[in-house]
Structure 1
């Protein structure tokens, strides 16, 4: 496994990060086909930045008969918790990643299946019966929970469907019913792959980007905290670590001067096509700002532009998911990369 880490122009400090300084990223991935033995994936062209993820596929039906199958895109599971808010690009929308898909250039409107679970039990029908949205964040769901009959609320509290969120908003203590269920959402549609023909499928969405004001793995002049986990997950190498040290040495301000951005892409699911491998695989990562540090795992990664890095492979069988770590100055333009 070749490790890629690029250090450009960083000369600022990393300081300890605390839980309330962080938002968690939600890992999403690609398309999943129902199992079949005749549709192959000829190619996958994957682009990842903080602003967007785009994936262009070429599927091919290798048989002499048309094949109809279900294609699905699982959205990340959301675990509602009033004390831990994940990074959600389009908060308040069932399509919270802004997922879009086309087949041979024509837009497809997929179905959306949603299920809500509390302690492993499907509670979606109960939520709907009380006019409570399954999507667990935003004012709409809080207003719906506030209107619950007390008997229902007591039952849901006892069963772990909701919790009471106690807080002081500056005008005194409040106690609010808050969601505590897990939401599982999947977009899906029926697709036909004509005999002996290639089909171009493309989808895009805005990724969930985790962030921390400061660094979780380096502070007080040392690699510590979550360093071992980060090194395994992001393949941080000597060049990357030297850049972090340099940033720390040049710091004169006690306020955190670097922040993390993290993107997770689930590549190891799926594989339900004829060969189980991807004929031609291409990954492009755009860090967005030339001054940023980026580290991720990959074989034969090369720089192809001021902010872009590329990896290609043939007959590719993914063995690990893609996790990208970016370090930025607070005033950088890291979020503008395409």
Structure 2
């Protein structure tokens, strides 16, 4: 029996969009990855992306005469706590992307492993748990440290894991602290790819979509560094830009709609780690509303519905990750 370590890829951490106060960074996420395999191939992959859900349907094939027993892992994106920039976290608990997985139609319940790493790269998981401090305080801007032993608190400070809060006078300690560590999380379970057989795998999650209160690239204008970055990252073109301008110009200042940006990142290149290319790859991007706009880089993209766009490739080798820009109409 062959053994491999597989990972359901969320291999990107927070990816920077604009960092103004009225923006939230998106968190890159992806699909199934493997530390190289000569026997397990992706026969087909259908990837559905929207601001509300990411859904991936795979058909794998074990092309060998032996069963492949695997420890499968789904690394969640790293979450770095920083009071100066928010993270886009859909659900404020350990499964903050609402991740689910099915194998041949049967739900799988994975186990969770979490670690806390300080800014200096020190594993402080044991230190935090021993001191009664939560590893993943997703819903807390500040943490009450009044019950932590002075020696433990000193160790946390030395590791760069916390920044103590002070009162408005700028000097008086409040007993609260800002977390400064990164949470590394991974779901994992055991799975077998039967010899010379196909396996269907589906996983879904709510994407950690970033956004900004406005249309940044139009504010900066053509020729700006931000505009050039959008051209490279999202492949914005003249029809998309003109459509965005028309929407902004026609919007009523009082009644709207009011247009904002949303960003979605997906780690696509890990699909190249399986045996051979993805034999049949289908991408569906749903902009959510007919009043919205969407732009992303792709070849042979066609409009397949009022809000959906599709790209189909045979023998597909993903050479770049996917970034999607939405211009969203809000009322």
Moved more, 288-297 or 217-226: 217-226
Contact 1:135 1:141 in 2 (8 A): no
Question: Is residue 322 of structure 1 aligned with residue 322 of structure 2?
Answer: yes
Moved more, 175-184 or 295-304: 175-184
Question: Is residue 98 of structure 1 aligned with residue 103 of structure 2?
Answer: no
Instruction: Go from structure 1 to structure 2 and tell me whether the alpha carbon gap of 1:203 and 1:158 turns closer, same or farther (over 3 Å shift).
Output: same
In structure 2, the residue matched to 1:47 is: 48
- 1:95-130 superposed Cα distances (whole Å, 9 cap, x missing partner): 100100010011111122222111111111211211
Contact 1:216 1:225 in 2 (8 A): no
TM-score, length of structure 1 as denominator length: 0.84
What secondary structure is seen at the aligned counterpart in 2 of 1:241? helix
Alignment of 1:22-37 (within 5 A): 22-37=23-38
- 1:32-79 superposed Cα distances (whole Å, 9 cap, x missing partner): 234432111101110011111000001111112211122222211111
Question: Is residue 212 of structure 1 aligned with residue 212 of structure 2?
Answer: yes
How far did residue 149 of structure 1 move?
Answer: 2.0
Cα distance between partner residues in 2 of 1:24 and 1:298: 23
Contact 1:146 1:177 in 2 (8 A): no
In structure 2, the residue matched to 1:273 is: 274
In structure 2, the residue matched to 1:8 is: none
In structure 1, the residue matched to 2:284 is: 284
How far did residue 222 of structure 1 move?
Answer: 5.7
Instruction: Go from structure 1 to structure 2 and tell me whether the alpha carbon gap of 1:85 and 1:165 turns closer, same or farther (over 3 Å shift).
Output: farther
Give the unaligned 5+ runs of structure 1: 1-16, 332-338
How far did residue 257 of structure 1 move?
Answer: 3.1
Instruction: Go from structure 1 to structure 2 and tell me whether the alpha carbon gap of 1:18 and 1:246 turns closer, same or farther (over 3 Å shift).
Output: farther
Cα distance between partner residues in 2 of 1:18 and 1:34: 33
Contact 1:82 1:165 in 2 (8 A): no
What secondary structure is seen at the aligned counterpart in 1 of 2:282? strand
Cα distance between partner residues in 2 of 1:161 and 1:270: 35
Alignment of 1:217-256 (within 5 A): 217-219=217-219, 224=224, 226-250=226-250, 253=253
In structure 2, the residue matched to 1:132 is: 133
How far did residue 189 of structure 1 move?
Answer: 1.7
In structure 2, the residue matched to 1:313 is: 313
Cα distance between partner residues in 2 of 1:134 and 1:34: 28
Cα distance between partner residues in 2 of 1:262 and 1:21: 14
Contact 1:268 1:319 in 2 (8 A): yes
- 1:282-310 superposed Cα distances (whole Å, 9 cap, x missing partner): 01000000011110011111000000000
How many pairs are equivalent? Answer: 309
Cα distance between partner residues in 2 of 1:141 and 1:220: 34
Contact 1:218 1:225 in 2 (8 A): no
Contact 1:34 1:71 in 2 (8 A): no
How far did residue 142 of structure 1 move?
Answer: 2.0
Cα distance between partner residues in 2 of 1:35 and 1:18: 36
Cα distance between partner residues in 1 of 2:47 and 2:173: 48
In structure 2, the residue matched to 1:9 is: none
Does 1 or 2 have the higher relative contact order (CA < 8 Å, sep 6+)?
Answer: 1
| RMSD of Structure 2 on Structure 1 (CA) | 2.5
Instruction: Go from structure 1 to structure 2 and tell me whether the alpha carbon gap of 1:220 and 1:44 turns closer, same or farther (over 3 Å shift).
Output: closer
Moved more, 41-50 or 105-114: 105-114
